[in-house]
A and B are shown apart, each in its own frame.
Chain A
Amino acid sequence: MSDRTTALERAAAPPRTLRLSRLSVLVDRPEWLGPLMLGPAVLYILLLVGVPFLLALYYSVSDITMGGRTLGFVGLRHFAAVVGTPKFQTALKNTFVFAISAQVAVMVLATVLALALSRDFRGKWVVRLLILLPWVAPVSLGAIGWLWILDSTYSVLNWVLEALGLVPPYGGFMWLGVPHLAMGSIVVVHVWRILPLATVILLAGLSSIPQDIHDAAQVDGAGFWRHLFQITLPLVRPIMLVAGLFGLVLAFTDMIVVFVLTRGGPYDTTQVLASLAFFTGVQAGDLAEGAAIAVFLFPLLVAVAVVFLRVARRTEVT
């Protein structure tokens, strides 16, 4: 009924009605136009994120191989095979060590940096550009810059240490060749990359605090630290959560820094789940086992999201 009335009403309205067609009737109605405009994007995302995601789950319980066409169901065989290996256990441990230590450092440094940037000063534009560089530059290329800085023979860091007399000539560190140093280097490079994002997000939070609140605290005689810990930081807690969530997801799932700097070495001591999945699934050609390793990223991501939502809710209640 209502269809006809709308169509009639529209037909009565000059001058567009001259080229009225069935399609334009559809397109004129919000309940059709919405899905029509959303449809292509949603379909694309379903086909290219949803389907591969389900495939990833299925591959991990199938007997798929690089060349083969079979897709038989083998249950949890790959998970059982993978979980017991020292390689996987090291990668799992490294993923946590790497992601958590990098993220803790990022949050502390980003808070300091965002506070410093929230003041007005000359040349702020240039400073912000220089601080953003690591985030915008392709990660793989930034990591190569570090590869040269951390070079075993020509490292500029070793040169400085030698020049200062802190290490004997030719006594510099093998930054990427010794397990703990390599892990440390990877954490530093990751902090370097994520810091700008966390900083600008926090900065947006800081600048959203009304000036009145700061003024009131000033009038009440709150000192710097009290002001910081009892007023500023509690007010930006939700946005710190956002910055932390994105940073953790990026850290948990990144393989580029590891791939470029160490390829997981020395002796797999810097291998993380994402890089192990790549080396197993693509370079060694074991698709099913690679998929099984990659699927372990998913519960990690869900856990991160749930923990953060919990924390967010608790802070709202109290």
Chain B
Amino acid sequence: MLGRAGHAGVLSLFVIFTAFPFYWMLITAFKQTNDLMTRENNPFIFNMPPTLENLRILFHDTLYLRWLANTAFVGVIVVAITLVLALPAGYALARLAGRWGEQLGIAIFLTYLVPPTLLFIPMARVVADLGLQDSLWGLVLVYPSFTVPFCTWLLMGFFKAIPRDLEEAAMIDGHSRLGAFVRVVVPISVAGVLTVVIFTLTLVMQEFVYALTFISSAAKFTVSVGVPTFLVHGDVYFWGSIMAGCFIASVPIAVLYNFFVDRFIAGFTVGAVK
């Protein structure tokens, strides 16, 4: 119905809506504070020369780098836990579980939908009882509770797509099933493993409710909690630095994620698309 121009127009409107806040973060990050704080200035252009001062403040005068490091620390360990638990579970659901495997798979996936906002109060108590309050280890313990269900489901779909012949050949060659899984199936599942790594990392970066509830000292925040609670609710709003902090923690991972999004969607829609 729409011509080429109309098509481009519709898409442009959507892109402006979705991407504008990120463009706004980027341009704000390089503006001088005086430029930002003069109402008469056209906010779309640099009324004063661009500056790197905001970035300097962000990296030197705030705990931003520390928060990035904390996020990476939690992310790496949670990725490891998720892989150790979800790889065998996904394989077992795909190959060994038989008729009840499907039901169990759906049950595991549904736990992914139980929201943190329902669980955070008892979770805080459990974490405190284990002595992990205000510690990154508390996050390490709790985050697999939502990464494992989703990644198990994702890997189940992935393993189902691998031809059985490959393992059967390995088993005829004298490997046990476990041996065939470890030596044959896992190595050819690099794409599946990478997908799990990317999704686990993004889930960890995005998580907000648990980190806000468990962590109380500024030096232990993750980036998604540190920026909104510590940078925004200081007395003075350093909008340039804040926007730089948001942009740096948002956009690079999104580019990475874009490569894997089709697998992610396949995980969401198993069964609905045939």
Contact = CB atoms under 8 A, between A and B. Distances in A.
Interface of A: 13-16, 24, 27-28, 30, 33-38, 40-42, 44-45, 48-53, 55-56, 59, 64, 109, 112-113, 116-117, 119, 121, 125, 127-134, 136-149, 153-154, 156, 159, 163, 192, 195-196, 200-201, 203-205, 208, 224-225, 238-239, 241-242, 246, 249, 253-256, 259-260, 274, 277-278, 281-282, 287, 290-291, 294-295, 297-298, 301
A255 B120 CA distance: 12
Given A44-B144, A44-B148, A253-B115, A139 B96 contact: no
Contacts of B145: 44-45, 48-49
Best-surrounded residue of A14, A156, A298 (most CB of chain B within 10 A): A156
A64 B125 CA distance: 10
A196 B89 CA distance: 30
Grouping DSSP codes into helix (H, G, I), strand (E, B) and loop, the B interface class, with mixed when no group exceeds half, is helix
Interface of B: 1, 7-8, 10-11, 14-15, 17-22, 24-25, 28, 36-37, 39, 42-44, 84-86, 88-89, 91-93, 96-97, 104, 108, 111, 113-126, 141-142, 144-145, 148-149, 152, 174-178, 202, 205-206, 208-209, 212-213, 223-225, 227-228, 232, 239, 242-243, 245-246, 249-251, 253-255, 257-258, 261-262, 265-266, 268-269, 272-274
Given A138-B223, A144-B242, A159-B43, A278 B177 contact: no
Contacts of A254: 117
Nearest to A246: B268
Contacts of A201: 265, 268-269
A156 B16 CA distance: 14
A253 B118 contact: yes
Contacts of A24: 176
B86 to A, nearest CB: 6
Which 4 A-B residue pairs are closest in the complex by CB-CB distance? A137-B250, A55-B122, A34-B96, A253-B115
Contact of B7 (A38, A45, A116, A138): A116
Given A149-B21, A156-B24, A41 B85 contact: yes
Nearest to A64: B125
A27 B229 CA distance: 49
Contacts of B20: 149
Given A133-B250, A246-B268, 5 more contacts: A30-B96, A48-B145, A116-B14, A141-B249, A255-B209
Contacts of B113: 246, 249, 301
A147 B25 CA distance: 11
A154 B21 contact: no
B88 A37 contact: yes
Given A154-B43, A287-B121, A130 B25 contact: no
A139 B208 contact: yes
A142 B21 contact: yes
A195 to B, nearest CB: 7
Contact of B18 (A51, A130, A159): A130
A53 B14 contact: no
B265 A204 contact: yes
A40 B88 contact: yes
A295 B24 contact: no
B208 A297 contact: no
B243 A295 contact: no
Contacts of B242: 144, 148
B115 A144 contact: no
Contacts of B253: 136-137
Contact of B104 (A38, A142, A149): A38
B206 A30 contact: no
Given A27-B176, A121-B7, A131-B18, A139 B117 contact: no
Contacts of A253: 115-118
Contact of B92 (A34, A55, A298): A34
A48 B208 CA distance: 17
B123 to A, nearest CB: 5
